[in-house]
Structure 1
Amino acid sequence: MRRTLLLLAGLVLVASLGLGWWWWSHRDFTAEVASRLSEALGRPVTIGRMAIDPRGMIDLYEVTIADVAPFEGTQLLHAEHIDLEVSLSALLDREIVGVVSVQAVELHVTKRDGATNLAGLLPRRGASTGGVAQVHLDVALHDAKLRIEDADRGESLELEGVDVRALLDNRDDAPQAEVALEIDRVSLHGVTLDHVVATARASRDAVALQDLHASLGEHGTLEGDGELFLRGDRSWRFAIALADVDLAGDVRPLVSSLYPPLSASVDATAASGSLGAELTVSATGLHWPRVRESLIGSGVVRLHDVALPAQSLLVDLAALAGRSSDAVHLRRVAIEFTAAQGWITLARVTTDGEQVDVPLTGRVGFDGTLDLRADLMPLVAVFGGGAYRAVARHATSLPVRIEGTLDAPRLAPPRASEIGASLLGGAIRRALEQP
């Protein structure tokens, strides 16, 4: 009898456990999970379908995180599949602690009326928030599509193949959202960056990018930091350093804007060498037409072991001073510049190589317009002067204007009035030097 009772009790226990698991596994927790995630993120979350494994871990399908006022009607995020390695029982008890892996995700960041749809994300957990869930999540977004939209200016930028690693934590008084970004390749204004990585931290006014690193070509590197402004007139600011960038790559048109002697027809000029630079730039807008109107900055660009073919502008310039039209090799070129109001102004240019030092002054327009001057006197002293040999003996300077565009530059020889003024200056100098 006793054995029979024990057997019946065991059967009842097994049946109860089985019934409990059946009830647990068949209960629809989708709405409850969506509710907990909504209160934790401060955004409406909808879940198309959910699956629970025997350990209580969760797979979510067709997940959408919607925006709130004043961004109603748009989505912050849509994902086909989210693997949520969080205990279901803990989640229902408002403890969202674990690891999240997101596949096939679209992330849409919008700026409108000086605010973004990131504001208010991840509400602070504290006495005033009562039932807000505790969040500590290690989030990984794989192969994401990121869309950044500036509705105030009617511009947008899309990046694909983005990997995002983020730590979301609202357990302190100040919520944290530390993000690591990885992008295989991105093209910005004609320059291709590979293997882009950075860490980001969002605040109310800006997204700060730190430890920015990217590859340019085979050996070139880019490092720096920057900010994407969420408020105010400026859209972004970056301070970057470049090293070992190949001039034969897609940076050459940009470098020609800073050092026009690289130009002839830019596409035809097979200049070679490497580049290093330290730059600080900021602007409004995401697309070049608007960026061009607002870009300001400064910096120094250093060119190393530059070989210029016979059709380059510097060779044509040196030919006026009596040099042959052979190719030129420059060991070092340093260009200090400022940029504002649609122009790049050359503050100082120094050249070292083949005894060629061409003092350049003036500016280059963002549209390629050239408004420059070069003094031939240093070249005349080296190469004999050519057609200006006799004049150079008595002049103080021989200013040559560089006009046209980067694609079609042209040299304007010294005007007669300029030569006359230079000869007069030379005569005065000699008179003062005589005892």
Structure 2
Amino acid sequence: MLDPQVTTAILGAGFAATSAGFFAQTRAKRRLAARCAGLEKQHAANGTHIATLETEVRHFAEVTMPALVDVLARGHRGVPVPGLSQEQLAGTVVDQAHQTVRRLLKEALAVTREQIGRAARSSVRDIIDEAQTGLHRCQMRVVEEMERHPDGTAYHQSLMNFDHLVTQSLHTLQRMRILTGSWPGLQRADCTVREIVESARGRINDYLRVSYTYEPRTGETWLEGRIVEPVTVALTELLSNATAFSDGKVFVEVQAFQTGYCIVVDDGGLNMNSFQREEAARQLGQREVLDVTTVQDTGQLGFAVIGRLAGEYGFAADVTSTSPYGGVRAVLRIPLELFGHGPTDEEIEVERHAATSLARQTPLPEGAPVPAGAADATPGEPTAPGGLPQRRRRAPISAATARDSAPAPADDPDAFSAGLAHLGRTIHDTENDSPEGDQPHD
């Protein structure tokens, strides 16, 4: 029989061992429960994080990307492009990835547009060069034919009308040349402001509605040849716009100011609202070539043409003022450094001698009056690159003569028909220059 003390010791040891096992098992269960709870929390957090990423990806694909396409591809101005839908993701890998996608999309569209635009502009310029050269040759033949026949005859008048149509077609081609990054396609010698106004006036349909207030002090100021054609094209666009959006007269006046001259065009038509003025100012300040992938209305490219020319040649245009007649006041500002001095006395004498020799070589029929432009005809007219004709210089009009003569009103059909031949010699690009003493019509 065991000793009671031994039995007690054995039982105590067993109880202690059993208790230790229970305690260890309880701790293990608690650790397992805590671990399970942690895993559950982590799973819940992962689920929330995944849901957050899914929401952000869906927002980028369904909201941000369409807005980017509207702005970058379709050219819709003013469309807001939203960023992250959840601010807590700012600066994270997700945000950086989205920024990378946006940058790559913008770069891809820019490269594609540039490639398409370059190919399209090159093709357009090639076509325009061929068509413009052909029209210039046609116009030269018309001018030569006009010089061989007296002014005022029905045949001469029909030639004038035909020449006017050719001039308008040439201006249309010039617009496209300029918008595709090329020069106007014509190099002219120094011209007076009066001749520029009359030339621009003759390139529009409703030229009879344009009333030019001529003053010798400003009208007989010479503009540098390099800038003559760009200013003429820009003024043509302003006159075309004024006559298209107004009825009645369009008034043109040249004003001198301290740093240059202004050609002011006033009409009494519909004025522009704030949005139209803002859009016009944007186009007048546009210096880049035409983006053929975003052109929406080809009928409203006049301001874009002026903007390109103004940025390239150093003058400025503004259409934000209201004319005294309630319409739009358009202003071309030409700085003094763009003005020239006209031909020298030696050049005048050489051209007069050449014109006299030519007149002697080509006698007129007996009894026929001498054409008004015969004294200023110049043989062997030089050509600019590409076979395009180039203007020659001639003597400036005498201011005394201009003051002594009374110009006929431009809105009088009979008076205008009598002087239409003189106007015709200044309204096209490749004609012989106006004769001395020819006066503009108010």
TM-score (norm 1): 0.27
TM-score (normalizing by structure 2): 0.26
- Indicate the structure (1 or 2) with the bigger Cα radius of gyration: 2
RCO comparison, higher one (Cα < 8 Å, 6+): 2
